[in-house]
Amino acid sequence: MRENPILAVAIVIIAILLIDLYAYKGVRLLISDMSSTKQKWITIFYWLVPVILIVMIIVIYLFQDATSETMNYNVIFLLTGFFILFYLPKLSFIAFHLIEDIMRMFAFILKKLSPEESTINGVAQKIGSIRFLTQAGVVVASIYFVSIAYGMKWGRYNFKVRHEKIEFSHLPKVFDGLRVVQLSDMHLGSFIKNYDKVSEAINLINKQKPDIIVFTGDMVNNLASEMEGWVPIISKLEAKIGMYSVLGNHDYGHYHTWDTKEAEDKNLSDLVDYQAEMGFTLLRNQSAVVEKEGYKIAIVGVENWGERPFPQYGDYNLATQDVRDIPFKILLSHDPTHWSNKIADKEDVALTLSGHTHGMQMGIEIGSLRFSPVSLKYKNWGGLYGEEDQYLYVNIGFGFVGFPGRVGTRPEITVIDLIKKK
């Protein structure tokens, strides 16, 4: 598709039209009893949405080379939100209407095969006249629409503080009660300079009075320039001992097309400099030592390591070469598959902190029940995993990317208190 963008655009437009044509068939069924004036206005509004979407797609394609990377991203960001807001509800509506159409087809076949006055024919006539599934589809689609609209307007800024207390038998007593605050996946470019909302979250983080703040990757979407303007905001973070970070798959700039390798390297170098200005010690297959009263714990940070096609730059052995004699280690590794593939039951790491999944930015949380479709891809997608002195915590992200919202998966600030097991 990248080699033939015209074909890609054509396929997307055709798909949009097919969705709308079939969904409109169901809409016409529901409005058939309304006055002609109401039908006219509903029809105009209905087709206005795909027209706007298609025009936006064509404009982006025609002018993508004439606008800045930031402008392109912001427009695509808006387009993605617009598409999900209207077309996820439409797809749910289509599912109900399709089932009803299948029932109507079944009723039609029964009517043709059965005698004119038979009981079966009467059942077929009743089935043929139903429309309750299409009506139910409207209700479900409306719920989706309202939920997505809420997630785009308010959900992406509705930060949640999650508290975890984790006990370890080999935690040095002097570190009993050490408070670690984890942040992950800020994707600062997605906030489009919305400094006020992020500043509120920074204040909320500082209220937790962390000893250590860690950031587990994806500070940006693609470019280091996304961090411009954010240094004064993020540098207000306060930690008694220090702040440590690692890189995520987006931070390397691999999703951007670079003119030269030098430009790509410069982008990463700039990102590293920005993180230093913010107050983070960036660990790139390196470790830092926290010492108190002669006792030590190691903060280990690896480059991104994920299951293919994600980069596998992480080198745990290299990162720990100077801290192998320290028994209590906290590992910062962006992708949780690193823990399941390389760390769990294989290395002496007490706690691994990861991010990456975003909880797909869509899910359900009711009390202790948490579900996200991303669980179909990632076994460890959000929350605490593990047992017996070896744990993984997956933060579902501070920011957002692609879809400009969060539905049922609130942006997360994780507070972890390390407890000495009695």
Same domain, residue pair 318 and 398: yes
Residue 123 clears pLDDT 80, i.e. is over it: no
The predicted pLDDT at position 3 comes to 58
**DSSP H/E element including 51:** helix 36-63
**Are 382 and 258 part of one and the same domain?**
yes
- Confidence band of 121 (pLDDT split at 50, 70, 90): low
Helix (H) or strand (E) holding 164: strand 160-168
* Helices 69-113 & 132-153 angle (0-180, nearest 10): 170
Report the C-alpha gap between 144 and 148 in whole angstroms. Answer: 6
The model's pLDDT over 333-381, given as tens digits with 9 standing for 90+, comes to 999 999 999 999 999 999 999 999 999 999 999 888 899 999 999 999 9
Please indicate, yes or no, whether residues 337 and 198 belong to a single structural domain of this protein: yes
In this prediction, residues 211-225 reach a mean pLDDT of 97
Q: Are residues 254 and 143 located together in one domain of the fold?
A: no
Q: What is the mean pLDDT of the chain?
A: 91
The pLDDT > 70 percentage for the chain reads 93
DSSP code string of 334-397: SSTHHIIIIITTTS--SEEEE---GGGGB-EEETTEEE-GGGGT-SS-SEEEEETTEEEEE---
Cβ atoms 280, 243 nearer than 8 A: yes
Of the candidates 153, 180, 206, which is a domain's last residue?
153
What is the per-residue pLDDT across 162-199, written as a single tens digit (0 to 9) for each?
Answer: 999 999 999 999 999 999 999 999 999 999 889 999 99
Spatial distance between the Cα atoms of 200 and 289, rounded to a whole number of angstroms: 31
Check pLDDT > 70 for residue 128: no
pLDDT on residue 422: 84
Tell me what pLDDT residue 327 has.
95
Per-residue pLDDT at 107 = 72
Which of these three, 95, 119, 153, is where a domain ends?
153
Please give the pLDDT value at position 396: 98
pLDDT at 367: 84
Q: Residue type at 105? A: M
pLDDT of 2 above 70? no
CATH of the domain at 268: 3.60.21.10
Same domain, 64 and 128: yes
Looking at the fold, whether 93 and 168 belong to one and the same domain comes out as: no
Which pLDDT band holds residue 67 (cuts at 50, 70, 90)?
A: low
Q: Note whether 117 and 227 are same-domain residues.
A: no
Sign of CA dihedral 120, 122, 123, 125: positive
Burial class (CB in 10 A: 0-12, 13-18, 19+), 4: exposed
Domain count within the chain:
2
pLDDT given for residue 303 in this prediction: 98
**Do 205 and 90 share a domain, yes or no?**
no
Residues 222 and 349 reside in one and the same domain: yes
Tell me, what's the pLDDT at 166?
Answer: 97
Give the residue numbers spanning the domain of 178. Answer: 160-420
pLDDT (tens digit, 9 = 90+) per residue, 27-66?
Answer: 998 998 899 999 999 999 999 999 999 998 888 878 766 5
Q: What is the pLDDT of residue 242?
A: 97
Of 153, 182, 210, the residue that ends a domain is: 153
Check whether residue 282 and residue 403 sit in a common domain: yes
54 shares a domain with 22: yes
CA distances (Å), origin 59, targets 66, 270, 357: 11, 32, 31
Residue 126 has pLDDT above 90, yes or no: no
One domain for residues 143 and 17: yes
**How high is the pLDDT of residue 125?**
52
